[in-house]
Amino acid sequence: MIWRDPSGRTLADYPHPSVAVDVAVLTVADDRLCVLLHEGRALPGTFLRIDETLRAAALRVLRDRAGVTGEEPRQLAVFDDPERDDRGRVLSVAHVDLVPVERLDSPLTPVDDLPPLAFDHTAIVDAAVAWARDAYAALPDPRGLVGPDFTLLELQRVHEAVLGRPLPKDTFRRRMQEHLIDTGTLSRGSVGKPARVFRRAPREYE
Amino acid sequence: MIWRDPSGRTLADYPHPSVAVDVAVLTVADDRLCVLLHEGRALPGTFLRIDETLRAAALRVLRDRAGVTGEEPRQLAVFDDPERDDRGRVLSVAHVDLVPVERLDSPLTPVDDLPPLAFDHTAIVDAAVAWARDAYAALPDPRGLVGPDFTLLELQRVHEAVLGRPLPKDTFRRRMQEHLIDTGTLSRGSVGKPARVFRRAPREYE
DNA sequence: CCAATAGTGTCTGTAAGACAGTATTTC
DNA sequence: GAAATACTGTCTTACAGACACTATTGG
């Protein structure tokens, strides 16, 4: 049963824009926040299929173009400048995901040292970075870039990389501690006093 | 010059979803945060035309369906459940705008007393309310629901309506004061000490 | 012992909320 | 003067940042 409007036309009889899904895959590599770029100049993306959710399309991009599965893409915004794509009228629903660097094989570029990107992908990366910084402001590594077990120093390095600035050691400890569980083990790493090993506390829902 | 893919097809040869634009028009009426509903059960909306920006479509909705012009719709998110619209595959790009009640003539419904709405419009209203509450957390009436001149009590009533909870009077004053300019005049209203009349300070960009 | 890293105690400044006080108007 | 509203002073609490100190390892 196909819906028709008063003039007998279906929705498909009206011209409408194409919808793309682009994903800014962020990670921390060498203590720097990086983004995965295709051919060094564009975010991975695809066209949304007609019976597919945005989430499914974003996961398909992650699988086919970045080689990762089981991630958690988040919608950022729709980019809709009519001139943004010279192939025609294409809306892009931008997404972001934070993925541990070990699960990526494609080339990465630090976000504070981006080359000019195709389309409006620079703006998408900016929005993705802003989202990531917000997510990492209060909670310990919410997207699991380290872990599952880690020392506070390891956690702090990841947060500093995402936020792009150094953090005070003592305040960072105190802010994170309530969200961490002490595993009881000690890191037997290099020189210095061994550090306690923590794990993220299960998220609390009030 | 029309772009064609390697098999000679244009973008329009692939089936793609329709794109709708729905707008949650919020206002404060009788000290309550309200939303404008069409026929008491749906947000005003339209289909995005192929050469139109989302902002233009949202403004068109505001003009044609809510009778207001010159507003500032903000994009919230894309709602994309494949079953959300039984006329076919329709994505909705949800928007929010806050408009002074004097400029609206359509019927309003308090957001904490909503009837069941069509499609997924309840979720859109929820997102719109969350956006408005965030916007009104720190700054005095950023969308100009009162004004341009107002007393602190008038300002506080609007904030309480948007946030849906009472605010402590003294803390509210102190938080807002740095963003306000004293006009020098006094409100010669009813009983009680006359209140100073303020105006929003121009936004500061750091 | 020294170097290096881990972890804590304490001080200062800021801001929110609670509370109560003072100030100025209408009636 | 009473009632109502406007405004302010101050106390407590909480938390961030700064700073310095103690603790525990390898060499």
A171 touches strand C (CB under 7 A): no
Per-residue model confidence (pLDDT) at position A4: 67
Is pLDDT at A15 greater than 80 in this prediction?
no
Determine the length of chain A. 206
Q: Are A109 and A34 in contact, with CB atoms under 8 Å apart?
A: yes
Cβ pair B133, B116 in contact under 8 A: no
By the CB < 8 Å criterion, does A123 face chain B?
no
- Nearest one of A139, A97, A100, A92 to A117, comparing CA atoms: A92
What pLDDT score was predicted for residue A199? 96
B15 contacts chain A (CB < 8 A) = yes
Q: Is A124 exposed, middle or buried (0-12, 13-18, 19+ CB in 10 A)?
A: buried
Longest CA–CA separation in chain A, Å: 79
pTM: 0.91
pLDDT in tens, chain B (206 residues): 665 667 766 656 667 899 999 999 999 999 999 999 999 999 999 999 999 999 999 999 999 998 998 789 999 999 999 999 888 899 999 999 999 999 998 999 999 999 999 999 999 999 999 999 999 999 999 999 997 999 999 999 999 999 999 999 999 999 999 999 999 999 876 788 899 999 999 876 54
B53·A89 Cβ contact <8 A:
no
What is the per-residue pLDDT for B206? 42
**End-to-end Cα spacing for chain B:** 45
CA dist., res. B163 & res. A190, Å (int): 52
- A-facing residues of B in 61-100 (CB < 8 A) are 75, 77-78, 80-82, 86-91, 93
Nucleic strand D near CB of residue B139 (< 7 Å) = no
* CA A65/CA A91 separation, integer angstroms: 20
Amino acid at B114: L
Written as six digits, the tokens of A16 are 């409408």
Strand C footprint nucleotides (protein C-beta < 7 Å): 3-10, 15-20, 23-27
The larger pLDDT score, comparing residue B205 to residue A33, is at: A33
